[in-house]
Amino acid sequence: MENLTKESFIEKVYDFENEKVAKFKGSKPAIIDFWAPWCGPCKMIGPILEDLSKEYEGKIDIYKINVDDEHEISASFGIRSIPTLLFIPVEGEPKMATGAMPKQALAKIIKDFFII
């Protein structure tokens, strides 16, 4: 699991500054966790995402974006509450989910949405 800065987000996910249409740069599906260190539900979902990143290593990428540090990225996605998870398939439209979820629910989304 990797914390993204504006620069690494542009390099690995999408150049939101220069591209009008979002084109995902990854070679495998990704989950982006928009979070903050003071957020209770974010603290609950963090270890779950860490576990899932190990279980699905090599199959999906899981990234974290601290909304306090990366205002531009958060604003570009219209993030208004946290935790917000962005599920990005290699092809097709991303989906968003807000709020902490149990591990089983996240694993089901990964299997169903990413077809893993």
3-state secondary structure 32-46: EEEECCCCHHHHHHH
By the 8 A CB rule, do 95 and 113 touch?
Answer: yes
Average pLDDT over residues 95-109: 94
Q: Is 88 helix (H, G, I), strand (E, B) or coil?
A: strand
**114 domain residue, yes or no:** no
Rg (CA), the chain: 13
Average pLDDT over residues 28-48: 96
Report the domain count for the chain.
Answer: 1
**99 domain residue, yes or no:** yes
Out of 4, 13, 30, 39, the active site residue is: 39
Q: What is the pTM of this model?
A: 0.92
Out of 4, 32, 42, 67, the active site residue is: 42
**78 domain residue, yes or no:** yes
Provide the token pair at 50: 């860490």
Per-residue pLDDT at 37: 96
Interatomic CA distance for residues 8 and 40, integer angstroms: 26
User: Is residue 17 very low, low, confident or very high in pLDDT (cuts 50, 70, 90)?
Assistant: confident
**72 domain residue, yes or no:** yes
What pLDDT digit, counting tens, does each position of 61-91 carry? Answer: 999 999 999 999 999 889 999 999 999 998 8
Within the chain, what is the greatest distance between any pair of CA atoms?
37
Asked if 3 is an active-site residue, the reply is no
**100 domain residue, yes or no:** yes
By the 8 A CB rule, do 76 and 19 touch?
Answer: no
**57 domain residue, yes or no:** yes
Asked if 39 is an active-site residue, the reply is yes
Provide the token pair at 81: 């509450």
Q: Is the pLDDT of residue 9 over 80?
A: yes
Residue with tokens 């949405």: 113
User: Is residue 23 very low, low, confident or very high in pLDDT (cuts 50, 70, 90)?
Assistant: confident
Domain that holds residue 23: 2-108
Q: Is the pLDDT of residue 95 over 90?
A: yes
CATH number at residue 60: 3.40.30.10
**86 domain residue, yes or no:** yes
**75 domain residue, yes or no:** yes
User: For residues 30 and 17, which has the higher predicted lDDT (pLDDT)?
Assistant: 30
